Copies of this chain bind each other. A is one copy, B any other.
Amino acid sequence: MMIRIPFDELAQTIESAFLKAGLAPEFAATCARIHAETSQDGVYSHGLNRVEKFIDYVNHGWVNPSAKPTLACQLGNLEIYDGQLGPGITNALFAMDRAMEIAGDMGLGLVTLRNTTHWMRGGSYGWRAAEKGFMSICWTNTESCMPAWGAQSSGIGNNPFVMSIPREEGHVVLDMAMSQYSYGKLEITRLKGEELPYPGGFNKAGDLTSVPAEIEESRRILPTGFWKGSSFAVMLDLFAGILSQGNTTASVDKAGYGNGGACSQVFIAIDPLKISNQAFLNQALEATINQIHHSKPAESGAKIQYPGEGSLRTRKENQVLGVPVHEAVWERVKALAGR
């Protein structure tokens, strides 16, 4: 059953669970806030629902609950850090903050992370950069979880990719993985007894299907845009591994630290006001958003959204009504928090 919990209660409970799992107080508070914000924005798969798995990883020794990134290489406004298998969230926040710090000085900053762990929702780092007034591009590689185009066995990651632009009335944020749907979306759709709106993979017979259980059985999840998402995933992986001097998907697979363990990430920040001014920015953003909003909708009365608009609406709704959580998951996390 779904219930709604106030944001502060959600964040404080997750924080207590993380403290009990051995995270340092500052790390526990930061990670809890990000998980709670993720649920609040409607990305339920990587918010509260992911807390138990993260604690499990800490218990396995796959995440070092107190590690911080160490500088491995510096070259102008490009810096490489080793994440020391620390929490993916604090590592990624460090990297994006450092990229923004460099960009604040020099216009542009590129920071990479190797040996980091699952960053949860990629969008968190794009929203954060936008909140601080920076444009950003960031991505991560992952272990193999998707067949390359034309294959039936998994060989590539689904490598989430994020871009963001600050905007006073609502930041413009893209947060996309390279699979058309996540396995989390397949599960939710199956549990509702529904089908996907568009085919999400191949069944065991090799035909495209919108039935989630058939894809969960075949493990042949569809790259977004067929061959395009497949190739884009490969490039993101190679760039992340090479630019961080870290693992690519092929070696993440062998690392044995679970989902997202020992992966590689790229964070680019740009200070738009170093090369432009607020009036130009506003004009470019508003002309584009206007053009999107005034498109003729395919279904009468539908609203065409700019990237990030839906998340912002969900956030505002959940801020008022409370954050939706599965009651069973919530009870288990409360138990982990000793409440």
Chain A residues in the interface with B (C-beta under 8 A):
73, 75-78, 80, 106-108, 110, 135, 137, 144, 147-156, 163, 165, 172, 174, 176, 180, 198, 202, 206, 208, 220, 224-226, 228-229, 231-232, 234-235, 237-239, 241-243, 245, 248-251, 253, 270, 272, 274-276, 280-281, 284-285, 287-288, 290-292, 294-299, 302-307
Contacts and interface: CB of A to CB of B under 8 A. Distances in A.
A75 B149 contact: no
A156 B307 contact: no
A75 B241 contact: no
A287 B155 CA distance: 11
A80 B275 contact: yes
Contacts of A270: 78, 243
A155 B292 contact: yes
B150 A302 contact: yes
A231 B288 contact: no
A306 B147 CA distance: 12
Contacts of A75: 106-108, 274-275
Contact of A288 (B180, B225, B249, B272): B249
A165 B238 contact: yes
Given A77-B76, A275-B73, A292 B245 contact: no
B147 A295 contact: yes
Contacts of A176: 225, 228, 231-232
Contacts of A284: 238, 241-242, 248
Contacts of A224: 224-225, 228-229
A69 to B, nearest CB: 16
Contacts of A147: 295, 298
A165 B280 contact: no
A284 B155 CA distance: 14
Nearest to A80: B275
A302 to B, nearest CB: 6
Given A172-B235, A275-B75, A151 B242 contact: no
Given A75-B106, A206-B298, A234-B288, 14 more contacts: A77-B108, A78-B107, A80-B275, A151-B298, A153-B295, A163-B235, A174-B232, A174-B234, A180-B228, A225-B225, A238-B285, A241-B284, A242-B281, A250-B288
A238 B107 contact: no
